Amino acid sequence: MTDLVIRALDERDVHLFDTLPDPLRAAEALRTAHYRPGWKRVALRDGRVVARAAWWGGPDDTEPLTAELFDFADGEEEAGVQLLRTAPWQVGLELNLPGGWRDDPALKAAAEARFDAARRAGQRLLVERYLYRWTRECGLPDRPGRLEFAPEPDDAVFFDALRRIHSVTFDAHARKAIEEGGLDLAAQEEIDFFRWCPSPREWWQTARTPEGDLAGIHIPAHNPSGPCIGFIGVVPERRGHGYAYDLLAECTHYLVERGAEFIAAATDQGNFPMAAHFTKAGYPVVRERVHFV
C-alpha cells in the first residue's frame, strides 16, 4: 500500500473533499454549515481521497470549536485515525447520523466503524442526542398559560438559575463541566455560549409562577445556522409539574413571532422527560448526533 499524505485543502482543490462517498449522509445534513477550506483536511493515497474531516467554528472564531464531518473509504480506517490524530486542532467530534440508524445494518456498520476510529484517535464518547427541526407545518404548540415570562437584564440571575438547574441534571455536557470545575463552570459555559450566539441578549427570559417564584428560564437563540431552542431549564424545586413544556412552547412562540420559519433543537437521548416534551410540542426528530470529547 502506498504512503499516506495528510494535508489541508485550499480554494484551488477544496472540490476534492466531496469526492469521497458519504454513507452516513452527513454532508447532506450539514449542507447549511460553512466550512472554511483551511479547516478541511484529507488523507490522500495515490492522489485519491481516502479519508476526510471538516472542522467548524463561528464566523468570528480563529480556531474551530469541533469536528463535524468525518469519513473514510472502505478499508481505510487507519487513514481516518491518522487524519484525526495528526490534526492541529484537538477538539471534540460530532457525528451526524440519520434517525434510527441502528435499524439499518449498513448504516450501523458504517457508524460503528467511525466510532472505533474516533476512539483510536483519542476521542471518548460523551453522549448521543436527538436533533429536532420544527417548521410552521408542524403547528404552534399551545401555551398552557401557567407561568409568567419576562426579560431579565442581570446575568447574575441567569447564572444563579443555571447553577440550580444543573445541580440536578440529565445533560451530559453540563455533567462534564461539573466534573471539571463544579457548578460555576457549568453555568458560566452556558452564559458564554449564549453570549457567543448572534441573537440578542434581550431575548433571555425568566419564567415565574403567579406567586412570583422562579420556575425556570428559557433562552430563544440564533446560532450561526439559524433559530434554535437555546436552553430550557426548570429549577429543581419546581419540577414535577411539566413546566419544561411551558418553557418550550413559549420559546417556540417567541422565535416564530420574530420571523422564524424553522427552529432547530436537541436533547440528550437519556433525557426522557425533555424528549417527551419535544414530541408533545410537535418537534420531529430529523437526525441523531453522537458527541465525542
Domain match, 112 and 150 both: no
Residues 226 and 235 sit within 8 Å (Cβ to Cβ): no
pLDDT in tens, 222-236: 999 999 999 999 999
Structural domains in the chain (count): 2
CATH code of the domain covering residue 77? 3.40.630
Domain match, 151 and 117 both: no
Domain match, 229 and 182 both: yes
Domain assignment present for residue 210? The answer is yes
- Give CA–CA dist 95/87, Å, rounded: 17
Q: Confidence class of residue 30 from pLDDT cuts 50, 70 and 90?
A: low
Domain assignment present for residue 207? The answer is yes
Examine the fold and report which residue of 97, 123, 149 is the final residue of a domain before the chain moves on.
Answer: 123
Domain match, 173 and 103 both: no
Domain assignment present for residue 290? The answer is no
Could you tell me the sign of the dihedral formed by the alpha carbons of 116, 98, 177, 174, in that order? negative
Q: Does the pLDDT at position 32 exceed 70?
A: no
Domain match, 141 and 281 both: yes
- Quote the domain boundaries for residue 163: 137-285
pLDDT in tens, 136-170: 999 999 999 999 999 999 999 999 999 999 999 99
Q: Does the pLDDT at position 42 exceed 80?
A: yes
Domain assignment present for residue 129? The answer is no
Domain assignment present for residue 256? The answer is yes
Examine the fold and report which residue of 63, 95, 123 is the final residue of a domain before the chain moves on.
Answer: 123
Q: Does the pLDDT at position 1 exceed 80?
A: no
AA identity, residue 142 = D
Cell of 148: 409568567
Cell of 127: 453522549
Domain assignment present for residue 281? The answer is yes
Domain assignment present for residue 278? The answer is yes
Q: What is the mean pLDDT of residues 86-112?
A: 95
Q: Please state the pTM of the whole predicted model.
A: 0.94
